[in-house]
Amino acid sequence: MPQPTRTLILLKPDAVQRGLMGAVISRIEARGLKIVGMKLLQVDDALAHRHYSAHVGKPFFPGLLKFITSSPILAMAVQGENAVEVMRQMMGATDPAKAATGTIRADLGLAIGRNVIHGSDSPESAQTELALYFKPNELIDWRRDTEPWITES
């Protein structure tokens, strides 16, 4: 049986401001993934630069920086079998207009710059990104009694 993995999920300022946190969390839990860490926080310039370091210097970076620091975000550590891949599929394409029907971005977003959610793109980036937002003692290993109904043992 595959071991559960973890991924970082951020509900961006547009999701928080539009009152979509509960709707997205419900989708994650309904899929069978487990939240093992969660916090509402205000991203400052330093954290934004660390998180989006690959985009520093690109034409869209100033707008991204302004957006991600404009309002609180909800950071979540999500765990489950193939958590990174499952969440990427659930989120849909970065551009909501190109995202598959039924995905979070297709259902809740209209523009690339306001696409509601961020998720790690690989298990390696998940580890790096989780460490930006959570200390090890902020992630809880817990047993959900419904696990045998969600995954095969």
**Three-state SS string across 38-97, please?**
EEEECCCHHHHHHHCHHHCCCCCHHHHHHHHCCCCEEEEEEEEECHHHHHHHHHCCCCHH
Higher pLDDT, 92 or 4: 92
Confidence of residue 3 (pLDDT cuts 50, 70, 90): confident
Active-site choice (49, 51, 55, 118): 118
Active site residue 118: yes
Domains of the chain: 4-140 (3.30.70.141)
Average pLDDT, the chain: 95
Calculate mean pLDDT across residues 90-110: 97
